[in-house]
Amino acid sequence: MDTMPWLTLAIAAPLVGLPVLLVWRSITDDAARWVGLAATLAAFAVSIGMLANFETGEAGFQMVSKHPWVESVGLNWFVGVDGFSIWLVMVTTFMFPIAIAASWKVEHQVRRYMAMALFLETVIIGAFLSLDLLLFFVFFEALLFPMYYIIGVWGSKRRIYAATKFLLYTMFGSAFLLVGILWLYVESGKQLGAATFDLTQLEQLQLPTGVARWLFLAFFVGFAVKVPVWPLHTWLPDAHTEAPTKGSVVLAAILLKTGPYGMLRFNLDLFPEASRYFATAIMVLAVVGIIYGAIVAMMQTDIKRLIAYSSVSHMGLIVLGIFAFSAESMDGAVLQMVNHGLSTGMLFLVFGMLYERTHTREIADLGGIVQVTPWLAGAYVVAMLSSIGLPGLNNFVGEFLVLLGTFSVDRVLASIAIVGVILSAVYMLWSYQRTFQGSLKERWGSLPDLSWREGAIVVPIVAVMLWIGLHPAPVLERLRPTSEEVSERVRAVQVGEPVEPLVEASAPTGEQAP
């Protein structure tokens, strides 16, 4: 039995850099960058340790550590990892050093930038590992501010508008989530004797069907805004477009995953009956999002907006996979969360490198770039091919599993979703053709190609993409037991199945039947 508190360490690791950045105010910009990189690499190292200790073939939570935090309220520091969260933590700790390295050229308030990034990493990892609902909510809410700040301070022209829109949309969703969490908390006080936010105990609550459905919706709205599920997606293109390169990477690669993760972890776990009840409606929304995102992406003239709308489309696929409730589709959904982080993250990264050279996001301003920067174009092609699901690259595996799993449940929706996958090839390739091929504009004649630093950023992502694409077994075998367990649990419930009526919760008037 390993006694290292890996999870607590993983959450705390990025924080070690924070005091340095906050206290040492005359730190040079370069030193601040190195502190940021070192702290994120430390977190990556810890997460590797966590992965090495992960028992393959186990479905439940591992490396659980639970300590009372605010005992009088029933709040615990309760963290644990299972097949779902381990990969999300891995992609987080993997992408953060890359994102930091990618923002090496940030000149403006570097120290503050790095501090915000480290704080952000901590709260995102925390959100993925929390098994206490309030603890999760604390992390879930706490990530808003650093992201708001990063978009608002280091973003482009309409950054404040975009940052505010991001903040208000997600807080709006969280408001419902908070009410749901408090409701469960109070209910647990009535049913279990002591009020608690402990996920494993809240699972045991007997909720009347109608109530569970309302609570499901409250949770769902909270997470759907983050995903974002169509039609709650409108903040995303603005936030993506205005965010600085690293902001977009973090947003795309990691932050968006807290939404579908929340659905997997909390909606399915706490409200299986309601999940079944609403599944079809949610799957329809997801498919609408897939097609809508693809079509709108096709019409964009701004590359960042194009990638943003492609995110809406791809995230739809993830939600589809979650609510198809088959073990394959859930595997696929989680894998797609990781994949989308890698490929969309890389798209933003490479485009960010191009943007640093050209300072334009308009497709029409570009063209023929491949002639002067073959390596950069090559990197973009890899990211793009991964994004559209070329076999041999990571997305193919995930998309295939989601569609396979969905097909066995609902053929019509799966078929429509496939159209979305095809459309993504269309808009991606078309945008590549307009941006990188064709005749070279004179002003781009002397663009430098990828530097060593940039190359070093890109190579590890490509390596991981190939690894998942060619040999997904190590990922899947850690994922599968959890997917199977969750899928079986949800499928075991019948829709409309009456829940044992509560003995005392009703009839406050005291009129008991004789």
Partner 1 sequence: MIDPPRVELWAILPVLILFGGALIALLGAAFARRAAQAPFVLFTLAVLAAAAASALWLWDREPVTVLGGMASVDRLAVVATLVLCGIGALGAYLGFHYFEEDEFRRNEFYALLLFALGGMALLVAAADLIIVFLAIEVLSLSLYVLTALTFRRGPTEAAMKYFLMGAFASAFLLYGVAMSYGAAATTSIQGLARALTGTTGSQPLAVIAALLLVVGLGFKVSLVPFHMWTPDVYQGAPSPVTAFMSAATKAAVFVALVRVLDVAFVAQQWDLAPAIAALSAVSMVVGSVLAIAQRDVKRMLAYSSVAQAGFILSAFVQPGRDGIAAALFYVITYGAAVLGAFGVVMLISGGIREQTGFDRFRGLIRTQPVLAVLLTIFLLSLAGIPPTAGFVAKVLVFGAATSAGYWPLVLIGALASVAGAFFYLRIVALMAMRDPQGEDAADRAPLPRLVLAVPAAMIVVLGIVPGVIVPLLQEAGVLTW
Binding residues (CB under 8 A) for partner 1: these are 25, 69-73, 109, 112, 134, 138-139, 141-142, 144-145, 148-149, 152-153, 159-160, 163-164, 167-168, 171-172, 174-176, 178-179, 182-183, 185-186, 189, 195
Token readout for 351 is: 């485009």
CB atoms within 10 A of CB 67: 10
Shortest separation between residue 186's beta carbon and partner 1, angstroms: 4
Closer CB to partner 1, 84 or 128, in the complex? 128
Q: Which of 340, 464, 450 lies closest to 102, judged by CA? A: 450
Nearer to partner 1, 188 or 487 (CB): 188
CB of 139 or CB of 436, closer to partner 1:
139
Minimum distance between the CB of residue 359 and partner 1, rounded to whole angstroms?
Answer: 20
Cα–Cα distance for residue pair 153/162, rounded to 1 Å: 11
Q: Minimum CB separation from partner 1 for residue 195, in Å?
A: 8
Q: Which of 404, 401, 392 is nearest to 471 (CA)?
A: 392
CB of 32 to partner 1, least distance (A): 15
Pairing of strands 62-70, 75-81: antiparallel
Q: Give CA–CA dist 229/115, Å, rounded.
A: 31
Q: Determine contact, residues 495/333, Cβ cutoff 8 Å.
A: no
Q: How far is the CB of 182 from partner 1 (least distance, A)?
A: 4
What the block records as the tokens of 157 is 């022209």
Run of H or E including 471? none
Q: Choose between 168 and 299: whose C-beta lies nearer to partner 1.
A: 168
| Residue of 262, 380, 386, 405 whose CA lies nearest to 325 | 405
The closest of 383, 359, 353 to 449, measured between CA atoms, is 353
- Nearest distance from residue 345's CB to partner 1, in Å? 25
Phi and psi dihedrals of 498, rounded to 5? -70, 140
* Min dist. Cβ of residue 122 to partner 1 (A): 10
In angstroms, what is the minimal distance from the CB of 103 to partner 1?
17
Residue 3 or 157 with smaller CB distance to partner 1: 157
Angle between helices 144-154 and 245-253 (to 10 degrees): 150
> Distance between CA atoms of 376 and 459, rounded to whole angstroms?
12
CA 238 to CA 219: how far, in whole Å?
A: 24
Q: How far apart are CA 133 and CA 48, in angstroms?
A: 26
* Structure token pair of residue 473: 């077994």
Q: How far is the CB of 436 from partner 1 (least distance, A)?
A: 33
- Closest CB to partner 1 among 112 and 357? 112
Give the residue with the Cβ less far from partner 1, 162 or 354. 162
Helices and strands (H, E) in the chain, number of each type: 22, 2
In this complex, which beta carbon is closest to partner 1, that of residue 70 or of residue 419?
A: 70
Closest Cα partner for 267 from 222, 233, 231, 328?
A: 222
Residue 165 or 233 with smaller CB distance to partner 1: 165
| Minimum distance of partner 1 from residue 508's CB (angstroms) | 9
Task: Supply the minimum distance, in Å, between the C-beta of residue 286 and partner 1.
Answer: 25
| DSSP symbols for 360-413 | --BGGG---GGGT-HHHHHHHHHHHHHHTT-TTSHHHHHHHHHHHHHHTT-HHH
Nearer to partner 1, 69 or 400 (CB): 69
Q: What length is written for the chain?
A: 514
The whole-angstrom separation of Cα 327 and Cα 485 is: 8
- The nearer residue to partner 1, 232 or 458, going by C-beta atoms, is 232
